[in-house]
Amino acid sequence: MAEALVFRGINYDTGTNYMPGWHSRQDWSTEGMQADIAMIRDRMHCNAVTLFGSQLAHLAECAEHAADIGMAVWLQPRLIDVSPERALDYLAQVADLAQSLHDRGADVRLNVGCELSIFAPGIIPGRTYQHRATALGIIWPLLPVFNVLLNRRLRSATARARDHFIGEITYGAGSWESVDWSPFDQVGVNLYRDKSNAAAYQATLAGLHRHGKPVLITEFGCCSYPGADQRGGSGDAIIDWRDPTEPRVKGSHPRDESVQQRYLAELLDAFAEHDVTGAFVFEFSEPSYPRSLDPAHDIDVASFGVLAADPVGSVDGRPYALVPKAAFHEIARRFEEH
């Protein structure tokens, strides 16, 4: 039996263009990034990190630093709502970056994408990724057709990646996606637990080994309010974004960091029990979901970050301070003891 949790990691967003003209790391700085990566290694005791994003320069700067301080690095291009041609060109650039790090002796691997049936056009109908996510819940019976299109796209992606990178390759599959794992070196699944799959979660984990390859949980996470553990990956749906300058929490969702802490602890126990090779918490922080003392504006409760962005204070050149949540300390304790 393979050793469990060889790779104990977290996802780190280097800046993703989820909407035109906007990306999730508006505050990017070298000083801030290096402080984050040091915290991931030294205070969270992670030995691995998945770096994702839409901007090659940020990915490269972060990957080089993480590799230089001895971390295992997974690189994942994340372009939203772009053509297959543009996505493949960006994948090739990220694969070239991975190869350059590999040539320097870094412990680096490539993740060719994340939940492409949602984030990439042309598989599930819908003009934007939000439209496709909504459509998924309506046209569920057509998933076999969409999976054929997805695997066709993944074959093109793996072929392009292999042309540029000689190392190991995986993919971050959505739990609804049925992937042909034969071109990949590891099975990679974003496996959030929620009320719809909780009863079958353990069986799902066991079933991932049927492919005969190491299993990575490429994403798992939870928000920080009562009931967030029942929502899993859709825990952030409680935010009203109609006024993007002043987003609000819809309804009453008081902060309860123990929900996120308990959820991550339970899933890490399950991963160890089922000999998962690597697990990557989603995610380090989400600065676009700031903390607030006003419950109506405390949208950090709907963040998957294990650190909260507190706008009261400025650290490392950024207009906020990162405050560890209960889940941060839970992960740090477990990873240090491993």
Which residue in 248, 249, 260 sits closest to 224, CA to CA? 260
Determine the pLDDT at residue 22: 77
Architecture of the structural domain at 7-337: Alpha-Beta Barrel (3.20)
Determine the pLDDT at residue 48: 98
Which residues touch 314 (CB under 8 Å, ≥6 apart)? Answer: 320, 321
Q: What is residue 169's three-state secondary structure?
A: strand
pLDDT tens, residue by residue, 25-57: 888 999 999 999 999 999 999 999 999 999 999
Q: In the predicted model, is pLDDT for residue 1 greater than 60?
A: no
pTM of the prediction? Answer: 0.96
pLDDT tens, residue by residue, 74-132: 999 999 999 999 999 999 999 999 999 999 999 999 999 999 999 999 999 999 999 99
Distances (CA, A) of 53 to 16, 79, 112, 276: 5, 7, 12, 25
Segments of 60-201 assigned E as strands: 72-77, 108-114, 169-174, 187-190
CB atoms under 10 Å from CB of 45, counted, come to: 16
Determine the pLDDT at residue 2: 62
Q: In the predicted model, is pLDDT for residue 320 greater than 70?
A: yes
How confident is residue 317, by pLDDT bands cut at 50, 70 and 90?
confident
Domain range annotation of the chain: 7-337
Q: In the predicted model, is pLDDT for residue 152 greater than 90?
A: yes
